[in-house]
Chain A
Amino acid sequence: MKRRSIFAATAAGAAAALLISACSSSGSSSGTSSTTPTTGATGFNAGITSVVNPSSTKGGTLTFEVRGTPDSFDPGNTYYAWVLDFDHLYTMPLFGYKSCPGSCGLTLVPDLATSMGTFSDNGLTYTVQIQPDVKFETGVVVTSQDVKYAIERTYDRSVLANGPTYYQALLTDPTYPGPYKDRSKNLMGLTAIDTPNATTLVFHLQSPFPDLPYVLAFPNTAPVLPSADTGTNYQLHPLSTGPYMFKSYTLNKQLVMVPNPNWNPATDPNAKQLASQIVVNLNVNQADLDNNLIAGNADIDAYGAGVGPAAQARILSTSSLKADSDNPINGFARFVYINTKVAPLNNLHCREAVEYAANKTTMQTAWGGPVAGGQIASTIMPPNIVGYKSFDYYNALSQPSGDVSAAKQQLAMCGQPNGFSTNMAYRDDNPQETAEATALQASLASVGIKLTLKGFPSGPYYTNFAGDPAYVHSHDIGLAGGGWGADWPNGYGFLDELLNGNAIAPTGNTNISEVNDPVINNLFTKSNTLTGAARTAIWSQIDEQAMKDAVILPAVYQKVLLYRNPAVTNVYVQAYYGMYNYAVMGVNS
């Protein structure tokens, strides 16, 4: 099966002004804000709109703790949200998100690049310059070939399996095997990227794609010196271009970083070099981690998914602790996929019956309630995505306990007046998803929809079970639990892999609903011909159409309760990551 391709009509003379609007169209009351960011605010949720404890004081040891391990510290081999945030301490990708609180933090800005770059008139070529004086930690000057090599090495999934895979779909030369197998042309064998001089990169696209700069904001564009690339061992000591460099790393246990003497702050305004040392303790028990935070033994929970239930109760009930916490929407949405190919859910009215009957309140409780779980959702896109518009087709907000009479009406219309039976897949090692499945089972039973729950482990969930259409069809899996975070904070980054008909794949499928609506597909196609406000308006149209199709049952816009150690400086929530911005923190020692 060929990789899905990104279609587009002719580019409408896309210009260099590709800067994404800093304003979220969100109407949400918390999570992100379109107000002007401030500094120095204190109290609960201060970190959402303000820089808490602003300081330029240097020194001290900043201690992060994490409840798991990274997928990899190799910037070309990671996809975990917290690592994408943390990477900015030792990498400079071509682009990044502006370091500021509030919706300002959704603004894409140049990082290693000197500007947002330019598209050719037909949108098939994109040219960008890099800063001429950025250095690796060894003092070697970064060149355009180092950036090209960084992208090249991600092509070999047998070596670097974890990271994003957009280049093969977007750029020409999709069958390039990677520099580990193709040693030709001095390891510069990818014809999709030209490096005419030491500071210029020219990307050749298969078809116009205005969001390319977003793709280039992933850390896999952080330069890699070919002579220093140790392949699978590169994760143990990636050469830094950021404010800090690796001093020692014991795999899955502890990382220690020290200031990079060859980092120039003038080249990297979105990062700071304040602490004398950064320590990251990995694989720490969540309860232990939370207590360490509150006791001051650790500074920040780098995982960024919020404190555990016991700590939540303690923090929210203690005014002094609550004043040092924030409760943002983290950009992640939890929902249930409704498969459009599994009978009787291949009938729109049966799907709508599920939408009406679901008890959103119990689903919200399953995810942790209004504080730690999230806001009840009525749309697929969460509020902090550019292009979000609020609407509520199935009374999720007005009747969060479910609309039984409307559900029964829909059942009658789909020829199942007494309900029907179907199976639901969920990840049984995820306690919240398990609780959500149980809650949904109970609420659908009230209208006669009998759900049989099928639990699967997280590891192969998307490759072998819920994300394998053949398995889904043969096992009558009509519903599947899941969630999604945007690869970049606009509608395309959030919705494309969920709803584009081209995204349906035989394994690792992300369009689990298997929606292939020509209206939605055409809107995606049209979006690649537009820019600015016209393009932004497309996303809510896609969201609305998908909800009219009832292909996804939104549960919550996820919120997290983050705790900030009062000793940490420059603390605020970076809207894109939905967690604190690790690249600017310091510590009062």
Chain B
Amino acid sequence: MIYFIIRRLIMTVFLLLLVSMITFAIFFLVPRLAGQTAYQLAAQYVGRNPIPSEIKAVEIKLGLNAPLYLQYGRYIKGIVAGIHYNNGTDVSYCPFPCFGYSFRNDQPVWPQLISDAPVTLSIALGAAVLWLIGGVSIGVLSALRRGSIFDRLSMGIALAGVSLPVFFTGLIALELFSYKWPIFPNVHYVGITTNPLLWARNLVLPWITLAFLYAALYARLTRAGMLETMGEDYIRTARAKGLPERTVVVKHGLRAALTPIVTIFGLDLGLLLGGAILTETTYSMPGLGQFTILAIQNQDLPEIMGVVMIASFFIVIANMVVDILYAVVDPRVRF
């Protein structure tokens, strides 16, 4: 297991390096190949009515005049070892991990990512707990009561959950439970260390909105997996041996059906940790998703690079955790 983890961590580093190369190429190399010059790129960050010398000064300050491979090398060096940065007024040291400085507001990217991450983590993890428990439970019950009113109703609601986009259900939730009936008034993010109760109260609607979408998917997946598993011979054997039904369902049936659930959970959570863009935008929560939107709108390349790297990191780590969990869920899996 330890060797597995070490191997996967080494692969993670190479994978992230590859992601950084591809992302850098997309935002810096491809426009150059299309004819955009460094001067033209710098002109986007100089404000109104710039004269050529001002654009040139910005081009130099942002390091855009250097060859691309040097720019990339500097970027990677900043991430692994920190780098000195000339912000125009003085030279400051940007410690590891340095994801560069925003082209728009000259502020270091990493602290902004760190500041936004707790919001996204709060939304994603809270919703994940809800959708996992809710989705799997409903799926199990639906499978056990196949064809019943409960089964039909829950699968119908699951269909709605999968079909309705987050920004729709979120706005409906706000309209009903925040504005019309102020059960959750004035939804905005409050840090857990500032006020844990308010933190949780203000996250209930985002959690439910996000969980509604994912729980639907998990319910359907769990139901399908359980239906297949509960029909297996070993389930009949377990029942014949006189095991309690709960043990048969949970320990033997559900456990076997969990493998695809674990796989998809890792992917979903990893993606969400990189920024629940629609949920954060709907509820005006200042997380990595909102940061991403702002970075794209501002064409702020260091910020875009930073958020892509963070999102990739979470996805890769989540997949590693999922692979480890396979061994827990399925005793046949060995590393």
Contact = CB atoms under 8 A, between A and B. Distances in A.
Interface residues of B, number: 48
B171 A507 contact: no
Given A158-B61, A159-B89, A295-B179, A508 B115 contact: no
Interface in B273-329: 281-284, 286, 290, 294, 297-299
Contacts of A463: 40, 43-44, 46, 50
Interface in A27-85: 69, 71-72, 79
B44 A157 contact: no
A233 B106 CA distance: 8
A297 B202 CA distance: 14
A507 B297 CA distance: 21
B283 A288 contact: yes
Interface stretch (A98-106, A161-169, A324-332, A525-533): A161-169
Contact of B282 (A159, A251, A285): A285
A507 B56 CA distance: 13
Nearest to B293: A283
Contacts of B52: 1, 506
B182 A295 contact: yes
A460 B112 CA distance: 24
B105 A283 contact: no
B45 interface: yes
Contact of B284 (A156, A231, A284, A462): A284
Contacts of A405: none
Contact of A159 (B43, B51, B88): B88
B76 interface: no
B163 interface: no
Contacts of A295: 178-179, 182, 185-186
A589 interface: no
B174 interface: yes
A251 B107 contact: yes
A79 B47 contact: yes
B50 A507 contact: yes
A157 B62 CA distance: 12
Contacts of A250: 115
B300 to A, nearest CB: 9
Contacts of B186: 292, 295, 297
A232 B284 contact: no
A458 B297 CA distance: 8
Nearest to A285: B284
A577 B60 CA distance: 36
B49 A505 contact: yes
B299 A457 contact: yes
B54 interface: yes
Given A69-B294, A285-B282, A459 B299 contact: yes
Contacts of B54: 157-158
A252 interface: yes
Interface string B60-95: 110000000000000000000000000111100000
A164 B48 CA distance: 7
A159 B43 CA distance: 14
A285 B50 CA distance: 32
B140 to A, nearest CB: 37
B302 to A, nearest CB: 14
Contacts of B178: 291, 295
Contacts of B112: 251-252
Q: Choose among A156, A158, A162, A289 the residue with the greatest number of B CB atoms under 10 Å from its CB.
A: A158
A288 B281 CA distance: 9
A180 B105 contact: no
Interface in A81-127: none
A232 B294 CA distance: 19
Interface string A233-273: 10100000000000000111100000000000000000000
A180 B174 contact: no
B249 interface: no
A292 B182 CA distance: 11
B94 to A, nearest CB: 13
Given A297-B186, A464-B43, A507-B55, A283 B107 contact: no
Contacts of B187: 288
Q: Choose among A164, A252, A287, A497 the residue with the greatest number of B CB atoms under 10 Å from its CB.
A: A252
A182 interface: no
A350 B171 CA distance: 48
A157 B185 contact: no
Given A231-B90, A232-B87, A459-B299, A157 B47 contact: yes
A283 B294 contact: yes
Chain A to chain B: the 3 pairs with minimum beta-carbon distance, closest first: A231-B89, A232-B106, A159-B88
19 contacts: A1-B51, A2-B51, A72-B105, A157-B54, A157-B57, A158-B54, A158-B57, A158-B58, A159-B106, A161-B47, A165-B47, A232-B88, A251-B112, A283-B284, A283-B290, A283-B294, A284-B284, A464-B36, A508-B46
Given A252-B294, A505-B49, A506-B52, 16 more contacts: A1-B51, A79-B47, A158-B58, A159-B88, A165-B48, A235-B105, A253-B115, A285-B282, A294-B179, A458-B297, A459-B298, A463-B40, A463-B46, A464-B40, A464-B43, A507-B50
